[in-house]
Amino acid sequence: MKPTLYITPTPIGNYDDITLRALKVLKEVDFIFCEELKPAHRLLAHFNISKELISLNEHNEKEIADEVINKLLDGKT
């Protein structure tokens, strides 16, 4: 995958509602920014996906924005 920021919706309440495309993206990216770590970790564990999770939410978005940009500039997805 070329350096790209993918925005992938995840299901609320029922993991069976996730799309195949979303699962493909989650499996192939280098890292995942998520609003909350615990639910994201549970979702990934359910689908046997292991990725670096980084919390990005309203409380830290200004601090984390540079990290997002730097990872993309480094060729990460």
Q: Which CATH number fits domain 18-73: 3.40.50.720, 3.40.190.10, 3.40.1010.10, 3.90.550.10?
A: 3.40.1010.10
* Structure confidence at residue 1 (pLDDT): 61
Confidence of residue 2 (pLDDT cuts 50, 70, 90): confident
Give the domain ranges of the chain.
Answer: 18-73
pLDDT beyond 80 at 65: yes
Give the pLDDT confidence of 7-64 residue by residue, as tens digits. 998 888 899 999 999 999 999 999 999 999 999 999 999 999 999 999 999 999 988 9
The two structure tokens encoding residue 31: 């890292």
Residue 21 in contact with residue 68, Cβ under 8 Å? no
